[in-house]
Copies of this chain bind each other. A is one copy, B any other.
Amino acid sequence: MPRVTEAHRDARRAQIRAAALRAFTAKGYQRASISDVVAESGLSAGAIYGHYEGKRALFAAVAEEVLSRRGTELEAAARDGVPPSPVEVLTLLMGGMTRDIQDNRVIVQLWAESTVDDMIHDVVQEVVSAIQGVLHGALRAWYATRPDLCAGDPDAAAELLLPVMLGLAQGYLVQRAMLDDFDPDRYLRSAAAVLPR
């Protein structure tokens, strides 16, 4: 299999995903039509359908790409250097989201879609599980440096903190997407006040 062709194919697919993300971000996933993606990509409907089965598959692919990056980033940060504290982990995750997509309304739309579309559900399920795994590892590493806080059992401490860490991240994203007067710094100060440090 000629690798040039393969690379070209992947590049085109990436181009389509990028266009889809722009369209979904601008209009919202439900309201964005395939025509919007077409317009955004500079290609045609036929071209899109040649690479993705349809709008749902496109959303799944984009979601996989964006969410996976959070796991990758966190893993990298946890690997080299001092283990980040819970608040630093939260800040890192939220900063990454903001970097990838302007506002994060589309993330909330993704969650909603995952409650009703099986294809989306499966992708989100898988990637979020992966993120939880990485998150667990990061927290465990940090607790290991703070034996005073975990009674010598970093693993159990990380396990206990995990749902709240995920929940605080989700709360941040919901509020940022939904509330007119959301204040990111205030939210992080609030989180810092309750999280171990």
Contacts and interface: CB of A to CB of B under 8 A. Distances in A.
Contact of A179 (B125, B190, B191): B125
A111 B114 contact: no
Given A168-B171, A171-B170, A175-B170, A161 B115 contact: no
A119 to B, nearest CB: 14
A8 interface: no
Interface string A160-195: 111110111111101101111001001101110111
Contacts of A115: 28, 105, 108-109, 177-178
Given A180-B125, A187-B167, A190-B163, A112 B116 contact: no
Counting every copy of the chain, the complex holds 2
A179 to B, nearest CB: 7
B175 A163 contact: yes
B189 A160 contact: yes
20 contacts: A27-B116, A30-B30, A105-B116, A108-B115, A111-B178, A112-B112, A114-B178, A115-B177, A115-B178, A125-B180, A128-B179, A160-B190, A164-B171, A167-B167, A167-B170, A167-B171, A167-B174, A167-B175, A168-B171, A170-B174
